[in-house]
Amino acid sequence: MSTHGTEAPRPIRIALLGCGTVGGEVVRLLTEQAGELAARVGAPLELAGIAVRRPDKHPELPPQLLTPDPAKLIESDADVVVELIGGIEPVRDWLLAALHKGKSVVTANKALLAECSGELSEAADSSGADLYFEAAVAGAIPLLRPLRESLAGDRITRVMGIVNGTTNYILSAMDSTGAGYAETLDEASRLGYAEADPTADVDGYDAASKAAILASLAFHSRVTVADVHREGIAGVSSSDILAAQKIGRVVKLLAICERVTAEEGAESVSARVHPVMIPRAHQLAGVGGAFNAVYVEADAAGELMFYGQGAGGAPTASAVLGDLVTVARNRVLAGRGPRESAHAALPIRPMGQTPTRYHISLDVADRAGVLAQVAQVFAVHDVSIAAVRQRDRLSTASLVIVTHSAPDSALQSTVDEISRLDVVREVVSVMRVEGEDS
Amino acid sequence: MSTHGTEAPRPIRIALLGCGTVGGEVVRLLTEQAGELAARVGAPLELAGIAVRRPDKHPELPPQLLTPDPAKLIESDADVVVELIGGIEPVRDWLLAALHKGKSVVTANKALLAECSGELSEAADSSGADLYFEAAVAGAIPLLRPLRESLAGDRITRVMGIVNGTTNYILSAMDSTGAGYAETLDEASRLGYAEADPTADVDGYDAASKAAILASLAFHSRVTVADVHREGIAGVSSSDILAAQKIGRVVKLLAICERVTAEEGAESVSARVHPVMIPRAHQLAGVGGAFNAVYVEADAAGELMFYGQGAGGAPTASAVLGDLVTVARNRVLAGRGPRESAHAALPIRPMGQTPTRYHISLDVADRAGVLAQVAQVFAVHDVSIAAVRQRDRLSTASLVIVTHSAPDSALQSTVDEISRLDVVREVVSVMRVEGEDS
């Protein structure tokens, strides 16, 4: 279908499900930039309807477009469904129905994608519809399209990033003020950087959903949120922050997705979210406040970094609009975007078998032979020590150890056994480390 | 056309024009990752032929694929032409012929695109072929696809970046050693960071081509290299580097593409390449050696940064392969990527009318009233001074001025007139500045 004919092109009709902060921005941009967007798409973009829970609460929106019933819009003649409601049910059923009907879907729903992207992709494939979700990970940062398309000819080995702004804000604040976790969380809530119920952020659920989406795309495999090892930041103490500072590092909550190659050559995927000490010179260390940044390593491309705003109405709307222009263009040109690429189907590597490195800071008895005893525990568990620092008698944390890479379960067992040694008065801080130079 | 049928999909046949460092990597990746790539595309990728000047010099390549005649491959049954020869003629004619025949084109040829992308795009449109060129700007960094697609629903206001590794290496070295330009260039050549003939890099031609491509995509307008104001780094002295250090800045060669809005609301595009002093805290300041990084500012997305390797065989091949997978997928799905988007057709703003800010470091006579005289010249040219620092009598450069934004021609005239003042013994350094905090 060409748009260069003499007849005016048919508008692309859009059903918008949900109209909160992001949806409001999407409507604003669709309206304000209507001419520009029509030129870029090759046809006007037209709102077919907007589903909101309480139409009477939206005097700013055209009343004839409003409906409290999303299912009605799925049944309508809309070409594209933009979903900004969130959560799994009943959204899952609506989007499956839309895709089966051949409507393309643009969604920012990370929880849904991290649980059912396979099912959604199959529905899209069955009818030839598009499924795009750039806004689901790292807000405005163009990250998924590069992973899905720009790096499609390369072999990605690692995706590691700061993908949750709330936890990054809290950890940055703890690092600069020295305050504890609970106090800093309170302050963040007061300032609006944390939700009233911050569980999804601080316990790492949000980041884990994003890790599942990133790992699926990077490794051409289906990875769901259940496959992601998850630890939040509630256990990060000011002792941890201080211990990190003492070795020139900073604590960040990272989503880490890796292609792990076993000795016999078999590949698997490790996806995890947990606090990590990274060197202060690392580019991710400088990412402060509510910003997001993601590192990607690929065989041919080498190291790449993507940086930008990870949340907020306008930035998220930018990502939604980008997807909307793409799927609308595909309609006009009778084309299709890339389908799900899950052909590699790599197995998930359990956290216990994932190679990690630990930092361990101990308060130990002030007598000879302590290091020998501690080192013996590492040796028994086949964990190799990279660096040891012993402090003088006046210091409280008197033994700091950073290990080489070992299976996470061996490191956990080592820490357990060390904590039970008579000579160890207190385990001051235990945290995984990433990045060289420690 | 579905790939889910029972019959084996027809291979996508590729003609490779040029097989140097990048081409060799492309062949290697096509061979080593054949299975993976076929799964991602939905059909095998098959080399139809490789054009090299001297087939006998390539014992590493399958002899039956080699030809010294690119035109023969354009006439062949290849579906896709990958062009890695470079230069304008005769490559332009070959690619136009390929596109008119409906063959999709993947190219890394920045000079060609910066001069004839309109003509190439029209040829692609005439037959429905794809034209992709991610590798032409910033090597492996996925930058053009985000600009063309992810940000297609946003309004980009600025693209600013380090897009030439050779000049970045030289300026980084001058900053850390204090050595002069000529000496540092010699050292860079010796170490292989600069070509035997470094003109294209050090005089800014390479960066100007990239600026033209970036400005075209960002502002949906046709910008050619002739529209780009270009200054290289040959004029950067150790006095400039030192002057930058004294005000907490660093000198970088930047490509700057801006949407400029005049008072009456009319928009135009400014595209320029020249040395700039940026604050040391700026994220681009930390980009050292041969790395590339590009900042993008958009209305809704806010600030974004993309970072990675801007050159080299494998990184460039990664970008080529990504494009190749995309255009091959489009063949399999009978779809098409986005077409040229030049509908905005914004006019080019001449450099003289582009708002810039200057840093000026002067060695002035040691007597009262000098600042008044100098300030008077600024006032006459309607240039507003942002900051002045006067040094004591022992210092050589005794007056340092940073201006507010003003038309570049007014700043040039101001500098010209100041240099002729009796009280000015020497203009120690004049350079444009970007970024806040000076």
The mean-pLDDT minimum among A419-423, B1-5, B274-278 falls in B1-5
Phi/psi of residue A252, nearest 5 degrees: -130, 150
The rounded distance, in Å, linking the Cα atoms of A252 and A272 is: 13
Which domains does chain A possess? Answer: 12-139+314-332 (3.40.50.720), 144-309 (3.30.360.10), 353-433 (3.30.70.260)
Measured from the Cβ of residue A186, the count of other Cβ atoms closer than 10 Å reads 12
By CB neighbour count within 10 A (0-12 exposed, 13-18 middle, 19+ buried), where does A246 fall? middle
- pLDDT tens digits along A22-49: 999 999 999 999 999 999 999 999 999 9
| Residue in B101, B210, B246, B252 annotated catalytic | B210
Hey, of A304, A309, A336, which one would you mutate to test binding to chain B, going by the most B CBs within 10 A of its CB?
Answer: A304
3-state secondary structure of B138: coil
Contact A15, A74 (CB under 8 A): yes
Q: Which pLDDT score is estimated for B154? A: 93
Contact B131, B109 (CB under 8 A): no
pLDDT band at A303 (very low <50, low <70, confident <90, very high): very high
The residue-averaged pLDDT of A430-434 equals 97
Q: Which of B326, B346, B361, B370 minimizes the C-alpha distance to B431?
A: B361
pLDDT band at B438 (very low <50, low <70, confident <90, very high): very low
**Interacting residues of B395 by C-beta distance below 8 A, sequence separation 6+:** none
Give contacts of B312 with chain A, Cβ < 8 Å: 302
The rounded distance, in Å, linking the Cα atoms of A22 and B300 is: 11
* Residue A438 confidence (pLDDT) above 50: no
- Measured distance between the N- and C-terminal CA atoms of chain B, rounded to whole angstroms: 59
The residue-averaged pLDDT of A54-82 equals 95
The rounded distance, in Å, linking the Cα atoms of A152 and A171 is: 34
* Residue B2 confidence (pLDDT) above 50: no
Determine whether the annotation assigns residue B110 to a binding site: yes
Q: Which of B363, B373, B369 minimizes the C-alpha distance to B394?
A: B363
Average pLDDT, chain A: 93
Per the structure block, which two tokens stand in for A149? 């398309």
* Residue B77 confidence (pLDDT) above 50: yes
Give contacts of B29 with chain A, Cβ < 8 Å: 153-154, 300
- List, in sequence order, every residue forming a beta bridge with B307; answer none if it has no partner: A305, B293
Per the structure block, which two tokens stand in for A357? 């490195």
Cα–Cα–Cα angle for A101, B332, A98, rounded to 5 degrees: 10
Contact A421, A373 (CB under 8 A): yes
Q: Which pLDDT score is estimated for B249? A: 96
Q: Which pLDDT score is estimated for A394? A: 59
- pLDDT tens digits along B141-176: 999 999 999 999 999 999 999 999 999 999 999 999
For residue A304, give the chain B residue with the closest CA: B308
The residue-averaged pLDDT of A172-194 equals 94
Cα Rg of chain A (Å, integer): 25
Q: Which pLDDT score is estimated for B263? A: 83
- Cβ separation B145–A140 shorter than 8 A: no
- Measured distance between the N- and C-terminal CA atoms of chain A, rounded to whole angstroms: 59
- A19: enclosing H helix or E strand: none
Per the structure block, which two tokens stand in for B96? 């136009």
Q: Which of B65, B111, B323, B346 minimizes the C-alpha distance to B207?
A: B111
Cα–Cα–Cα angle for B209, B214, B215, rounded to 5 degrees: 100
| Residue in A101, A210, A246, A252 annotated catalytic | A210
Q: Which pLDDT score is estimated for A333? A: 83
Give contacts of B321 with chain A, Cβ < 8 Å: 152-154, 300
The residue-averaged pLDDT of B317-344 equals 90
Q: Where are the alpha helices (DSSP H) in A147-236?
A: 165-177, 181-190, 199-202, 205-219
Cα A218 to chain centroid distance, Å, stands at: 13
The mean-pLDDT minimum among A210-224, A359-373, B18-32, B380-394 falls in B380-394
Buried/exposed A201-233: b ≥16 CB within 10 Å, e otherwise: bbbbbbbbbbbbbbbbbbbbbbbbbebbbbbbb
The residue-averaged pLDDT of B365-394 equals 87
Q: Among A29, A150, A155, whose Cβ lies nearest the Cβ of B134? A: A150
Distances (CA, A) of B206 to A189, A388, B227: 49, 49, 14
- Cβ separation A314–B300 shorter than 8 A: yes
Q: How far is B382 from chain A (nearest CA, A)?
A: 35
- pLDDT tens digits along A234-277: 999 999 999 999 999 999 999 999 999 988 889 999 999 999 99
The DSSP line for B33-68 is THHHHHHHHTS-EEEEEEE-S-GGG-TTS-GGGEES
**Interacting residues of A59 by C-beta distance below 8 A, sequence separation 6+:** none
The rounded distance, in Å, linking the Cα atoms of B125 and B116 is: 14
pLDDT band at A306 (very low <50, low <70, confident <90, very high): very high
Contact A361, A383 (CB under 8 A): no
The rounded distance, in Å, linking the Cα atoms of A180 and A243 is: 14
The rounded distance, in Å, linking the Cα atoms of B112 and B123 is: 14
- Cβ separation B318–A151 shorter than 8 A: yes
CA torsion sign for A71, A73, A79, A83 is negative
Give contacts of B142 with chain A, Cβ < 8 Å: 142, 145-146, 149-151, 304
Q: Which pLDDT score is estimated for B355? A: 95
pLDDT band at B394 (very low <50, low <70, confident <90, very high): low
By CB neighbour count within 10 A (0-12 exposed, 13-18 middle, 19+ buried), where does A43 fall? buried
Q: How far is A427 from chain B (nearest CA, A)?
A: 37
The rounded distance, in Å, linking the Cα atoms of A14 and A106 is: 10
Measured from the Cβ of residue A23, the count of other Cβ atoms closer than 10 Å reads 26
Q: Is the peptide bond before B275 cis (omega within 30 degrees of 0)?
A: no
The rounded distance, in Å, linking the Cα atoms of B294 and A54 is: 43
pLDDT: which is higher, A330 or B15: B15
**Interacting residues of A207 by C-beta distance below 8 A, sequence separation 6+:** A163, A164, A167, A230, A253, A255, A273
- pLDDT tens digits along B5-47: 457 789 999 999 999 999 999 999 999 999 999 999 999 999 9
The residue-averaged pLDDT of B279-306 equals 92
pLDDT band at A78 (very low <50, low <70, confident <90, very high): very high
CA atoms within 13 A on the CB side of B268: 15
pLDDT: which is higher, B286 or B16: B16
Binding positions of A for NADPH: 110
pLDDT band at A1 (very low <50, low <70, confident <90, very high): very low
CA torsion sign for A131, B307, A151, A297 is negative
Complex confidence, ipTM: 0.89
- Cβ separation A304–B308 shorter than 8 A: yes
By CB neighbour count within 10 A (0-12 exposed, 13-18 middle, 19+ buried), where does A179 fall? middle
For helices B165-177 and B238-246, give the axis angle rounded to 10 degrees: 70
CA atoms within 13 A on the CB side of A256: 26
Determine whether the annotation assigns residue B21 to a binding site: yes
Contact A149, B134 (CB under 8 A): no
The residue-averaged pLDDT of A330-343 equals 84
pLDDT band at A155 (very low <50, low <70, confident <90, very high): very high
Q: Which pLDDT score is estimated for B116? A: 94
Q: How far is B237 from chain A (nearest CA, A)?
A: 29
The rounded distance, in Å, linking the Cα atoms of A106 and A325 is: 10
DSSP B352: G
* Residue B1 confidence (pLDDT) above 90: no
- List, in sequence order, every residue forming a beta bridge with A159; answer none if it has no partner: A257, A296
pLDDT band at B97 (very low <50, low <70, confident <90, very high): very high
Q: Which pLDDT score is estimated for A3? A: 45
For helices A313-332 and A21-32, give the axis angle rounded to 10 degrees: 50
Question: Token pair 């290299």 is at which residue?
Answer: B225
Give contacts of A345 with chain B, Cβ < 8 Å: none
* Residue B248 confidence (pLDDT) above 80: yes
For residue B341, give the chain A residue with the closest CA: A40
Per the structure block, which two tokens stand in for B411? 């700043």
- List, in sequence order, every residue forming a beta bridge with A411; answer none if it has no partner: none
Q: Which pLDDT score is estimated for B392? A: 59
Would you say how long chain B is, in residues? 438
Binding positions of A for L-homoserine: 195
Hey, of B21, B133, B318, B336, which one would you mutate to test binding to chain A, going by the most A CBs within 10 A of its CB?
Answer: B318
The rounded distance, in Å, linking the Cα atoms of A237 and B234 is: 53
Q: Among A304, A325, A337, whose Cβ lies nearest the Cβ of B140? A: A304
pLDDT: which is higher, A396 or B422: B422
The DSSP line for A235-270 is T--HHHHHHHHHTTEEEEEEEEEEEEE-TTS-EEEE
Q: Which pLDDT score is estimated for B3? A: 45
Cα B35 to chain centroid distance, Å, stands at: 34
Question: Token pair 């952020």 is at which residue?
Answer: A201
Q: Which pLDDT score is estimated for A326? A: 93
- Residue A57 bears catalytic tag: no
Hey, of B25, B121, B149, which one would you mutate to test binding to chain A, going by the most A CBs within 10 A of its CB?
Answer: B149
Q: How far is B325 from chain A (nearest CA, A)?
A: 6
Q: How far is B104 from chain A (nearest CA, A)?
A: 15
The rounded distance, in Å, linking the Cα atoms of A181 and A111 is: 26
Contact A235, A265 (CB under 8 A): no
The residue-averaged pLDDT of A174-178 equals 95
